[in-house]
Amino acid sequence: MSIGREIRSASPPFNFFMATSTSSTGAPPTAAESLLGLTLAGGWLVTERAARAAGATGGTFSVGYFAERDGQRAFVKALDYAKAFSSTQASTPEILQYMTAAFTFEKAVLERCREKKMRRVALPIATGSVDVAGSAAMSRVDFLILEVAERDMRAHIDASTDFDAAWRIRTLHQATSALRQLHAELIAHQDLKPSNLLVFQNDGAKITDFGRSSRQGHASPHDQICCAGDKGYSAPELLYGHELSDWKRRRLGNDVFMLGSLLHFLITSTSATSAILSHLHSSHRPKNWAGSYADVLPYVREAFNRATVIFLETASKVVSPALAQNLTTILCELCEPDPYLRGDPKNRGTHRDQLSLERYVTRFNVIASRLEMRLQSDAPVP
Protein backbone atom coordinates (compact mmCIF):
# COMPACT_ATOMS: atom_id res chain seq x y z
CA MET A 1 0.00 0.00 0.00
CA SER A 2 1.30 3.42 -0.86
CA ILE A 3 2.34 5.51 2.10
CA GLY A 4 1.76 8.68 0.15
CA ARG A 5 -1.93 7.87 -0.37
CA GLU A 6 -2.68 6.68 3.13
CA ILE A 7 -0.92 9.25 5.28
CA ARG A 8 -2.85 12.42 5.97
CA SER A 9 -1.86 15.66 7.64
CA ALA A 10 -3.29 16.82 10.94
CA SER A 11 -3.51 20.50 11.75
CA PRO A 12 -5.24 21.20 15.07
CA PRO A 13 -6.11 24.85 15.79
CA PHE A 14 -3.62 24.89 18.64
CA ASN A 15 -1.57 22.49 20.76
CA PHE A 16 -2.58 22.52 24.39
CA PHE A 17 0.53 20.60 25.36
CA MET A 18 2.70 23.46 24.12
CA ALA A 19 0.51 26.20 25.58
CA THR A 20 2.30 28.80 27.67
CA SER A 21 1.29 31.04 30.52
CA THR A 22 1.80 34.76 30.83
CA SER A 23 1.75 34.75 34.62
CA SER A 24 4.90 35.97 36.33
CA THR A 25 6.77 34.37 39.20
CA GLY A 26 5.48 37.15 41.44
CA ALA A 27 1.82 36.29 40.85
CA PRO A 28 -0.15 34.89 43.81
CA PRO A 29 -0.40 31.08 43.88
CA THR A 30 -3.35 29.47 42.17
CA ALA A 31 -5.70 27.09 43.96
CA ALA A 32 -3.85 24.10 42.52
CA GLU A 33 -0.59 25.56 43.83
CA SER A 34 -2.04 25.86 47.35
CA LEU A 35 -2.74 22.27 48.38
CA LEU A 36 0.07 21.84 50.91
CA GLY A 37 -1.33 20.86 54.29
CA LEU A 38 -4.78 19.99 52.96
CA THR A 39 -6.40 16.59 53.52
CA LEU A 40 -7.89 15.13 50.34
CA ALA A 41 -10.32 12.29 49.62
CA GLY A 42 -9.62 9.16 51.61
CA GLY A 43 -7.63 10.98 54.29
CA TRP A 44 -4.56 11.75 52.19
CA LEU A 45 -2.55 14.65 53.67
CA VAL A 46 -0.67 16.72 51.07
CA THR A 47 2.86 17.02 52.48
CA GLU A 48 5.19 18.06 49.66
CA ARG A 49 5.21 19.77 46.27
CA ALA A 50 6.75 17.53 43.60
CA ALA A 51 9.77 19.07 41.93
CA ARG A 52 9.58 19.37 38.15
CA ALA A 53 12.53 17.55 36.59
CA ALA A 54 14.86 19.51 34.32
CA GLY A 55 13.81 19.06 30.69
CA ALA A 56 10.45 17.57 31.65
CA THR A 57 7.67 17.83 29.06
CA GLY A 58 3.95 18.09 29.59
CA GLY A 59 2.19 19.03 32.78
CA THR A 60 1.45 22.60 31.63
CA PHE A 61 -1.97 22.59 33.29
CA SER A 62 -1.31 20.44 36.35
CA VAL A 63 0.64 20.58 39.60
CA GLY A 64 2.24 17.56 41.28
CA TYR A 65 2.35 16.78 45.00
CA PHE A 66 3.14 13.96 47.38
CA ALA A 67 0.62 12.92 50.02
CA GLU A 68 0.73 10.55 53.01
CA ARG A 69 -1.76 8.35 54.83
CA ASP A 70 -1.07 5.74 57.52
CA GLY A 71 2.61 5.66 56.63
CA GLN A 72 1.92 5.24 52.90
CA ARG A 73 2.95 7.72 50.21
CA ALA A 74 1.11 8.68 47.01
CA PHE A 75 1.41 11.12 44.13
CA VAL A 76 -1.23 13.79 43.55
CA LYS A 77 -1.89 15.22 40.09
CA ALA A 78 -3.87 18.45 40.58
CA LEU A 79 -5.49 20.18 37.63
CA ASP A 80 -4.75 23.92 37.55
CA TYR A 81 -7.79 25.55 35.92
CA ALA A 82 -6.49 29.04 36.70
CA LYS A 83 -3.74 28.59 34.10
CA ALA A 84 -6.43 28.80 31.43
CA PHE A 85 -6.80 32.50 32.19
CA SER A 86 -3.15 33.27 31.39
CA SER A 87 -2.62 31.08 28.31
CA THR A 88 -1.41 32.72 25.12
CA GLN A 89 -2.50 29.87 22.84
CA ALA A 90 -6.30 29.90 22.96
CA SER A 91 -9.31 31.47 24.61
CA THR A 92 -10.09 30.69 28.24
CA PRO A 93 -13.35 28.81 27.48
CA GLU A 94 -11.58 26.63 24.91
CA ILE A 95 -8.84 25.65 27.34
CA LEU A 96 -11.21 25.06 30.24
CA GLN A 97 -13.30 22.80 28.02
CA TYR A 98 -10.19 20.93 26.92
CA MET A 99 -8.84 20.52 30.46
CA THR A 100 -12.12 19.15 31.78
CA ALA A 101 -12.52 16.75 28.86
CA ALA A 102 -8.90 15.56 29.06
CA PHE A 103 -9.10 14.96 32.81
CA THR A 104 -12.38 13.05 32.47
CA PHE A 105 -10.92 10.98 29.64
CA GLU A 106 -7.78 10.10 31.61
CA LYS A 107 -9.86 9.01 34.62
CA ALA A 108 -12.03 6.82 32.38
CA VAL A 109 -8.98 5.15 30.81
CA LEU A 110 -7.46 4.44 34.23
CA GLU A 111 -10.77 3.05 35.47
CA ARG A 112 -10.82 0.67 32.51
CA CYS A 113 -7.29 -0.41 33.42
CA ARG A 114 -8.49 -1.09 36.96
CA GLU A 115 -11.47 -3.12 35.73
CA LYS A 116 -9.11 -5.26 33.65
CA LYS A 117 -6.69 -5.66 36.59
CA MET A 118 -3.68 -4.36 34.68
CA ARG A 119 -0.95 -4.87 37.26
CA ARG A 120 1.69 -3.18 35.09
CA VAL A 121 -0.24 0.10 35.10
CA ALA A 122 0.10 2.60 37.95
CA LEU A 123 -3.55 2.86 38.98
CA PRO A 124 -5.30 5.71 40.82
CA ILE A 125 -5.87 5.23 44.52
CA ALA A 126 -8.56 7.90 44.62
CA THR A 127 -10.02 10.76 42.61
CA GLY A 128 -11.94 13.82 43.68
CA SER A 129 -12.05 17.59 43.96
CA VAL A 130 -11.41 20.17 46.65
CA ASP A 131 -12.29 23.85 47.07
CA VAL A 132 -9.37 25.93 48.28
CA ALA A 133 -10.48 28.69 50.65
CA GLY A 134 -9.15 32.15 49.89
CA SER A 135 -8.44 31.45 46.24
CA ALA A 136 -9.55 33.87 43.56
CA ALA A 137 -10.91 32.59 40.25
CA MET A 138 -11.32 28.82 39.88
CA SER A 139 -11.03 27.78 43.54
CA ARG A 140 -12.01 24.18 42.71
CA VAL A 141 -9.18 21.71 42.09
CA ASP A 142 -9.80 18.28 40.54
CA PHE A 143 -7.14 15.69 41.32
CA LEU A 144 -5.95 12.12 40.88
CA ILE A 145 -4.15 10.28 43.69
CA LEU A 146 -1.82 7.70 42.20
CA GLU A 147 0.61 5.02 43.28
CA VAL A 148 4.09 6.36 43.84
CA ALA A 149 7.32 4.44 43.29
CA GLU A 150 10.78 4.91 44.68
CA ARG A 151 11.66 6.70 41.44
CA ASP A 152 11.02 6.64 37.70
CA MET A 153 13.23 4.67 35.35
CA ARG A 154 15.44 7.59 34.32
CA ALA A 155 16.15 8.49 37.95
CA HIS A 156 16.79 4.83 38.75
CA ILE A 157 19.37 4.60 35.98
CA ASP A 158 21.08 7.77 37.17
CA ALA A 159 21.11 6.72 40.83
CA SER A 160 21.75 2.98 40.66
CA THR A 161 25.25 1.70 41.23
CA ASP A 162 24.46 -1.89 40.36
CA PHE A 163 22.52 -1.18 37.19
CA ASP A 164 22.93 -4.14 34.85
CA ALA A 165 21.70 -5.52 31.57
CA ALA A 166 19.39 -8.04 33.23
CA TRP A 167 17.52 -5.25 35.03
CA ARG A 168 17.23 -3.21 31.84
CA ILE A 169 15.71 -6.01 29.79
CA ARG A 170 13.46 -7.21 32.61
CA THR A 171 12.10 -3.68 32.92
CA LEU A 172 11.57 -3.62 29.16
CA HIS A 173 9.75 -6.94 29.40
CA GLN A 174 7.44 -5.47 32.04
CA ALA A 175 6.78 -2.35 29.96
CA THR A 176 5.96 -4.55 26.96
CA SER A 177 3.54 -6.57 29.09
CA ALA A 178 1.79 -3.35 30.10
CA LEU A 179 1.46 -2.17 26.50
CA ARG A 180 0.12 -5.55 25.40
CA GLN A 181 -2.62 -5.33 28.05
CA LEU A 182 -3.47 -1.78 27.02
CA HIS A 183 -3.57 -2.63 23.32
CA ALA A 184 -5.89 -5.55 24.01
CA GLU A 185 -8.38 -2.93 25.23
CA LEU A 186 -7.60 -0.68 22.24
CA ILE A 187 -5.86 1.87 24.47
CA ALA A 188 -2.72 3.57 23.19
CA HIS A 189 -0.49 5.20 25.81
CA GLN A 190 1.14 7.62 23.33
CA ASP A 191 3.87 8.82 25.72
CA LEU A 192 6.04 5.86 26.65
CA LYS A 193 9.44 7.10 27.86
CA PRO A 194 11.77 6.48 30.82
CA SER A 195 10.16 9.11 33.06
CA ASN A 196 6.75 7.46 32.56
CA LEU A 197 7.95 4.09 33.83
CA LEU A 198 7.79 3.87 37.61
CA VAL A 199 10.18 1.49 39.36
CA PHE A 200 8.81 -0.28 42.44
CA GLN A 201 11.26 -2.09 44.67
CA ASN A 202 9.13 -5.19 45.12
CA ASP A 203 6.86 -5.02 42.10
CA GLY A 204 9.01 -4.03 39.12
CA ALA A 205 8.07 -1.39 36.55
CA LYS A 206 4.64 0.11 35.84
CA ILE A 207 3.50 2.59 33.20
CA THR A 208 2.14 5.89 34.44
CA ASP A 209 0.76 9.19 33.05
CA PHE A 210 -2.16 8.56 30.70
CA GLY A 211 -2.71 12.25 30.05
CA ARG A 212 -2.01 11.81 26.33
CA SER A 213 -3.53 8.39 25.78
CA SER A 214 -6.00 7.47 23.07
CA ARG A 215 -8.78 4.87 23.01
CA GLN A 216 -10.45 3.64 19.88
CA GLY A 217 -14.14 4.50 19.79
CA HIS A 218 -13.85 7.02 22.64
CA ALA A 219 -13.29 10.65 21.72
CA SER A 220 -10.28 12.28 23.30
CA PRO A 221 -9.76 16.06 23.23
CA HIS A 222 -6.27 15.61 21.82
CA ASP A 223 -7.07 13.02 19.14
CA GLN A 224 -6.53 15.63 16.42
CA ILE A 225 -2.98 16.31 17.56
CA CYS A 226 -0.68 14.38 15.27
CA CYS A 227 2.07 13.83 17.84
CA ALA A 228 0.40 13.90 21.24
CA GLY A 229 3.33 12.50 23.23
CA ASP A 230 6.99 13.35 23.69
CA LYS A 231 8.51 14.03 20.28
CA GLY A 232 11.85 12.78 21.55
CA TYR A 233 10.52 9.19 21.52
CA SER A 234 7.75 9.30 18.90
CA ALA A 235 7.55 7.57 15.53
CA PRO A 236 9.20 9.54 12.70
CA GLU A 237 6.10 9.85 10.51
CA LEU A 238 4.43 11.87 13.27
CA LEU A 239 7.37 14.26 13.50
CA TYR A 240 6.79 15.15 9.86
CA GLY A 241 3.19 16.08 10.60
CA HIS A 242 1.66 13.05 8.90
CA GLU A 243 -0.54 10.38 10.37
CA LEU A 244 -2.24 7.30 9.04
CA SER A 245 -6.02 7.26 8.69
CA ASP A 246 -6.21 3.83 10.39
CA TRP A 247 -6.38 4.31 14.18
CA LYS A 248 -4.53 1.12 15.07
CA ARG A 249 -1.63 1.75 12.73
CA ARG A 250 -1.45 5.41 13.76
CA ARG A 251 -1.78 5.11 17.54
CA LEU A 252 -0.78 1.54 18.43
CA GLY A 253 1.96 1.73 15.79
CA ASN A 254 3.38 4.77 17.55
CA ASP A 255 3.35 2.87 20.87
CA VAL A 256 5.27 0.04 19.21
CA PHE A 257 7.85 2.49 17.91
CA MET A 258 8.15 4.16 21.33
CA LEU A 259 8.77 0.74 22.91
CA GLY A 260 11.67 0.26 20.50
CA SER A 261 12.82 3.79 21.27
CA LEU A 262 12.86 2.81 24.95
CA LEU A 263 14.96 -0.25 24.12
CA HIS A 264 17.40 2.00 22.28
CA PHE A 265 17.58 4.30 25.31
CA LEU A 266 18.25 1.44 27.73
CA ILE A 267 21.27 0.35 25.70
CA THR A 268 22.67 3.66 24.42
CA SER A 269 21.17 6.29 26.79
CA THR A 270 19.49 8.01 23.83
CA SER A 271 16.14 7.33 22.18
CA ALA A 272 15.85 5.82 18.71
CA THR A 273 14.10 9.01 17.61
CA SER A 274 17.05 11.17 18.67
CA ALA A 275 19.49 8.76 17.02
CA ILE A 276 17.61 8.91 13.71
CA LEU A 277 17.50 12.70 13.73
CA SER A 278 21.21 12.90 14.52
CA HIS A 279 22.02 10.94 11.35
CA LEU A 280 19.74 12.97 9.06
CA HIS A 281 21.05 15.80 6.94
CA SER A 282 19.58 19.08 8.18
CA SER A 283 17.55 19.49 4.97
CA HIS A 284 15.81 16.15 5.67
CA ARG A 285 14.86 16.88 9.27
CA PRO A 286 11.19 17.45 10.13
CA LYS A 287 11.42 21.20 10.68
CA ASN A 288 13.08 21.75 7.31
CA TRP A 289 11.26 19.20 5.14
CA ALA A 290 8.38 20.51 3.04
CA GLY A 291 7.60 17.33 1.11
CA SER A 292 5.70 14.18 2.00
CA TYR A 293 6.83 11.51 4.42
CA ALA A 294 6.87 9.03 1.54
CA ASP A 295 9.55 11.15 -0.16
CA VAL A 296 11.71 11.56 2.94
CA LEU A 297 11.33 7.92 4.04
CA PRO A 298 14.47 6.66 2.20
CA TYR A 299 16.58 9.22 4.05
CA VAL A 300 14.95 8.33 7.37
CA ARG A 301 15.65 4.66 6.71
CA GLU A 302 19.28 5.34 5.90
CA ALA A 303 19.63 7.32 9.14
CA PHE A 304 17.96 4.50 11.09
CA ASN A 305 20.30 1.93 9.54
CA ARG A 306 23.28 3.95 10.73
CA ALA A 307 21.79 4.13 14.19
CA THR A 308 21.27 0.36 14.34
CA VAL A 309 24.96 -0.24 13.55
CA ILE A 310 25.94 1.87 16.55
CA PHE A 311 23.26 0.18 18.66
CA LEU A 312 24.67 -3.27 17.84
CA GLU A 313 28.20 -2.16 18.69
CA THR A 314 27.05 -0.73 22.01
CA ALA A 315 24.85 -3.69 22.89
CA SER A 316 27.74 -6.06 22.21
CA LYS A 317 29.63 -4.38 25.05
CA VAL A 318 26.70 -4.93 27.41
CA VAL A 319 25.57 -8.45 26.52
CA SER A 320 26.93 -11.31 24.45
CA PRO A 321 27.22 -10.82 20.66
CA ALA A 322 24.36 -13.29 20.10
CA LEU A 323 22.01 -11.44 22.45
CA ALA A 324 23.14 -8.09 21.03
CA GLN A 325 22.15 -9.28 17.56
CA ASN A 326 18.82 -10.51 18.91
CA LEU A 327 18.11 -7.12 20.51
CA THR A 328 19.12 -5.33 17.31
CA THR A 329 16.69 -7.46 15.30
CA ILE A 330 13.91 -6.56 17.72
CA LEU A 331 14.86 -2.88 17.50
CA CYS A 332 14.64 -2.99 13.70
CA GLU A 333 11.16 -4.49 13.87
CA LEU A 334 9.77 -2.15 16.53
CA CYS A 335 11.30 1.04 15.11
CA GLU A 336 10.81 0.29 11.43
CA PRO A 337 10.47 3.76 9.82
CA ASP A 338 7.74 2.56 7.43
CA PRO A 339 4.58 2.29 9.56
CA TYR A 340 3.23 -0.40 7.22
CA LEU A 341 6.22 -2.66 7.93
CA ARG A 342 6.54 -1.93 11.66
CA GLY A 343 5.91 -4.78 14.05
CA ASP A 344 6.17 -8.55 13.96
CA PRO A 345 7.27 -9.64 10.46
CA LYS A 346 5.95 -13.17 11.09
CA ASN A 347 2.42 -11.74 11.26
CA ARG A 348 2.78 -9.70 8.09
CA GLY A 349 0.39 -10.81 5.38
CA THR A 350 -1.54 -13.12 7.75
CA HIS A 351 -4.76 -12.77 9.71
CA ARG A 352 -2.68 -12.05 12.82
CA ASP A 353 -2.12 -8.56 14.12
CA GLN A 354 1.21 -7.26 12.84
CA LEU A 355 1.37 -4.80 15.76
CA SER A 356 0.77 -7.51 18.36
CA LEU A 357 3.31 -7.41 21.20
CA GLU A 358 2.69 -10.97 22.36
CA ARG A 359 5.88 -12.42 20.86
CA TYR A 360 7.92 -9.47 22.08
CA VAL A 361 6.79 -10.12 25.65
CA THR A 362 8.13 -13.66 25.26
CA ARG A 363 11.35 -12.61 23.53
CA PHE A 364 12.23 -10.00 26.15
CA ASN A 365 11.38 -12.47 28.91
CA VAL A 366 13.73 -15.08 27.43
CA ILE A 367 16.59 -12.59 27.07
CA ALA A 368 16.08 -11.21 30.59
CA SER A 369 15.92 -14.74 32.04
CA ARG A 370 19.18 -15.72 30.37
CA LEU A 371 20.89 -12.61 31.69
CA GLU A 372 19.51 -13.24 35.18
CA MET A 373 20.77 -16.82 35.04
CA ARG A 374 24.22 -15.51 34.12
CA LEU A 375 24.18 -13.23 37.15
CA GLN A 376 23.25 -16.14 39.40
CA SER A 377 25.85 -18.53 38.02
CA ASP A 378 28.54 -16.03 36.94
CA ALA A 379 28.81 -18.13 33.80
CA PRO A 380 28.95 -16.48 30.36
CA VAL A 381 25.77 -16.46 28.34
CA PRO A 382 26.30 -18.52 25.16
Indicate if 151-377 has the same CATH topology as 3-147.
no
Cβ(200)–Cβ(150) under 8 Å? yes
CA distances for 140 relative to 17, 19, 96, 349, 368, angstroms: 22, 21, 13, 53, 47
pTM of the model: 0.87
pLDDT confidence band for 319 (50 / 70 / 90): very high
Which CATH superfamily hosts domain 3-147? Answer: Phosphorylase Kinase; domain 1 (3.30.200.20)
pLDDT attached to residue 156: 60
pLDDT attached to residue 16: 39
Buried b (16+ CB within 10 A) or exposed e, 241-277: bbbbeebebbbbbbbbbbbbbbbbbbbbebbbbbbbb
Average pLDDT value for residue range 314-320: 93
Question: CATH second-level architecture of 151-377?
Answer: Orthogonal Bundle (1.10)
pLDDT confidence band for 365 (50 / 70 / 90): very high
pLDDT at 324 over 60: yes
pLDDT attached to residue 88: 67
Average pLDDT value for residue range 266-277: 96
pLDDT at 1 over 60: no
pLDDT attached to residue 169: 95
Contacts of 134 (CB under 8 A, 6+ apart): 34
Average pLDDT value for residue range 262-291: 96
pLDDT at 362 over 80: yes
| Residue ranges per structural domain of the chain | 3-147, 151-377
pLDDT confidence band for 256 (50 / 70 / 90): very high
pLDDT confidence band for 5 (50 / 70 / 90): very low
Using DSSP bridges, classify how beta strands 242-244 and 7-9 pair: parallel, antiparallel or unpaired. antiparallel
pLDDT confidence band for 134 (50 / 70 / 90): low
Average pLDDT value for residue range 157-165: 62
Nearest of 105, 110, 147, 149 to residue 125 by alpha carbon? 147
Average pLDDT value for residue range 6-26: 41
Cβ(344)–Cβ(256) under 8 Å? no
Average pLDDT value for residue range 318-338: 96
Q: Residue 210 phi/psi, 5° resolution?
A: -100, 25
pLDDT at 56 over 60: no
